[in-house]
Amino acid sequence: MTSYPQSTVADVDAAVKAAHEAFQSFSSSGAQTRAALLRGLAQVLEDNRERLVLLADSETHLGPARLNGELDRTAFQLRGFATRVEQGAAFAFEDDPAVAGSPPVGHPHLVRVRIPVGPVAMFSASNFPFAFSVLGGDTASALAAGCSVIVKAHGGHQGLSHTVAGLARDVIATQGLPVGLLGLVDGPGSQIGVALVEHPLIQAAAFTGSVRGGLALESAARGRKQPIPFYGELGSVNPVVALPAALAVKGAELAQALAGSITMGTGQFCTSPGIVLVPAGESGDAFVAQLSEALRGAKTHEMLTPQMRKGFDQGCAQWAGEPKLKALLAEPAAADDVSPRPYLAQIDAQGFLSSHKLHEEVFGPAAIVVRVSGIEQVIDVLDAVGGSLTVTVWGADAPTDDNVSLVRAASRIAGRVLFAGFPTGVAVTAGQHHGGPFPASTVPFTTSVGYAALDRFLRPVALQDAPQWLLDRKGVPA
């Protein structure tokens, strides 16, 4: 097994200083430079696809099909940000011409531009070794904004992280850009991650991971002499609301597909459905039976890390300790079975509302069915869950008072509301929002997926009565 050097605090300091130096020139780069870099990074992933996917699979057990698709997505979003930069997204500005006269009508010439914030700390996620790692969406959006990046590697795909970082550095060198533009540090989050966030030259941090880890890093970001933005995507239970109208039309089909969503990637998606709200009555009974049967035959694979498997087993055990919860599918895995078995249990709305521990995410192929009687109980359950990346609502096709109330409740707690399909799978596009009220994310006004993600790393500045040479830059920082 290949061993990789663990960073020291001195290594973190050196990497951040190199990133700060690189930022001085890259921050004023134009669209052509940034777009060429992003496209070059996409190309180097594709050129090295075979060995990268093989390495990623050996470390994550996610399988070549899933990993090839994820590599495609990563290259797609790198090229997508390149196109957005060329279209002027990073250089958008508001030109407010001078108006003669006294205030409040009269005012000087003001141009509101945006400048890159500075070196960004980026934390790789365990469950997306390409798309949320070294060259994932956080890195792509930060580079598009004109920032340098220091990546904290994830121990779950350490070899892949170092390999991709090396390929990226080759691209940067070939294009004549400063070597410190993309750095990598590796080591325990409690030491190296905190040191990275606390470094005075770091100006923002982006994180996808656990609530516990994210809150520790956010505390470090806020506790600095100069606090910085911490863009954390933390925990989410992603409720699915199955209304009677949907179950009447295609309940069996929805149950089968929902089982696939719950077990996709062995449930190791931040958008995996964790709570399913099903109406009381015969149609709901049939749906729950169909869902249980579909999950019983579902295939899973080894989880990303032993710690993640331990957390899944402990979470299911904690759920099972709730006396009002009825197990529907809770057969434990055999001692020598590396793959976890899906977990499904059922409870009524009142029981769910009274047990806070049932509201917490269990990361893996597990879900709780909550039986509800009427829209008021549905809304009560959603409100109890709190912030979530997604809420899925099936059957709200007519503008009834109940459906309007339900959509308002879903929008209140989630960053994305679906009316068809399943929450797993997050499109990389301009209309996407991947965030939500806490604990889904620490800054719910921002997204970590989609082209609006670069807004996190741009800070507004108003230029008053600026000289013509500065206006001629058309939003490109000086």
Backbone angles phi, psi at 71, to 5 degrees: -60, -40
Q: Is 302 helix (H, G, I), strand (E, B) or coil?
A: coil
pLDDT reading at 335 higher than 60: no
Residues 306 and 447 in one domain: no
In this predicted structure, the answer to whether residue 251 has a pLDDT above a threshold of 90 is yes
Secondary structure class of 16 (helix, strand, coil):
helix
Q: Give the model's pLDDT for residue 338.
A: 83
Total domains present in the chain: 2
Catalytic center residues: 233, 270
Quick check: 334 pLDDT over 90?
A: no
Place of tokens 């800054």: 443
Are 42 and 178 members of one domain?
yes
Question: Does a structural domain hold residue 430?
Answer: no
Task: Calculate mean pLDDT across residues 238-254.
Answer: 97
Please tell me whether residues 259 and 202 are part of one structural domain: no
What pLDDT, on the 0 to 100 scale, is given for residue 2? 73
CA distance 401 to 138: 40
Each residue's pLDDT tens digit, 206-227: 999 999 999 999 999 999 999 9
Whole-model pTM over 0.85 = yes
Query: 36 — phi, psi (to 5°)?
Result: -65, -40
Whether 423 maps to a domain, the answer reads no
136 and 78 assigned to the same domain? yes
Residue 356 and residue 217 share a domain = no
pLDDT at 427 over 90: yes
Look at phi and psi of residue 61 and say left if phi exceeds 0, alpha if psi is from -120 to 50, else beta.
left
- Structure confidence at residue 4 (pLDDT): 86
Q: If you average pLDDT over residues 82-104, what whole number do you get?
A: 97
Selection from 285, 283, 294, 355 nearest residue 319 by Cα: 355
Mean pLDDT of all residues in the chain?
95
In a domain, 33, yes or no: yes
Range of the domain at 366: 240-418
The pLDDT-based confidence of 332 (bands split at 50, 70, 90) is: low
141 and 277 in one domain?
Answer: no
Same structural domain for residues 45 and 66?
A: yes
Query: d(Cα 338, Cα 453) in Å, to the nearest integer?
Result: 36
The residues that bridge with 343 in the sheet, in sequence order, are: 366
332 or 101, greater pLDDT: 101
For position 464, what pLDDT does the model report? 98
> Can you give the CATH number for the domain in which 353 is found?
3.40.309.10
Residue 168 lies in a domain: yes
CB 242 within 8 A of CB 382: no
CATH classification of the domain holding 152: 3.40.605.10
Question: Is 153 a member of any domain?
Answer: yes
Look at residues 220, 237, 242 and name the one whose alpha carbon lies nearest to residue 229: 220
Statement to judge: residues 409 and 349 lie in one domain: yes
**CA distances to 32, 133, 242, 274, 275 from 160, in Å:** 29, 9, 40, 30, 33
The answer to whether the CB of 82 falls within 8 A of the CB of 144 is yes
How many C-beta neighbours within 10 Å does residue 469 have?
8
Query: 185 and 99 in one domain?
Result: yes
Do 460 and 408 reside in the same domain of the chain? Answer: no
Rounded CA-CA distance 404/396 in Å is 8
- Could you tell me if residue 103 is inside a domain? yes
In this structure, the answer to whether residues 245 and 226 fall within a common structural domain is: no
| Residue 404 placed within a domain | yes
228 & 282 share domain = no
Q: Are 333 and 341 in contact (CB under 8 A)?
A: yes
User: pLDDT-derived band of residue 333, with 50, 70 and 90 as boundaries?
Assistant: low
In a domain, 429, yes or no: no
